[in-house]
Amino acid sequence: MTMNNYHIFKEKLLERKNEIIKILNDLTNEIKELTCSEVCDEGDEAMSAMDSGRKQQIYITLKNELEEIDIALKKIDEGTYGICEMCEEPINKDRLLVKPYAKYCIICREIIEKEGKNKK
């Protein structure tokens, strides 16, 4: 992949980063409202806690994605973007178009997933 193609991925990454930051800000406000609001009864309190828990899980997932995006942006700046961290071969362009912050090629990702399932 040439450096000329990097701008496509950098734009996608920056666009997604801005989306995530906005969602995280909205979630932070919603979580604060849920924890600070007056709760009517035990049922409402339980629903509020479940809703808060779901929002916190989404928040954590998005924070992780944001970290992956920042790593990918740094790799673009360093000229190491699009290289599998495991086999050091180029990651397929179609894979990067779907997941621009991918760290691994398809084959290595499958190996990692299989190892992860075997450890559980």
Domains of the chain in sequence order? 3-119 (1.20.120.910)
**Span 72-109, pLDDT tens digits:** 999 999 999 999 999 999 999 999 999 999 999 999 99
First and final C-alpha spacing in the chain? 36
**Residue 6: its pLDDT value, please?**
83
pLDDT tens per residue across span 26-47: 888 876 766 555 555 565 566 6
Rounded to the nearest integer, the mean pLDDT of the chain is: 85
Encoded tokens for 92: 């397929």
In our burial notation (b when 16+ CB lie closer than 10 A, e otherwise), range 20-50 reads: beeeeeebeeebeebeeeeeeeeeeeeebee
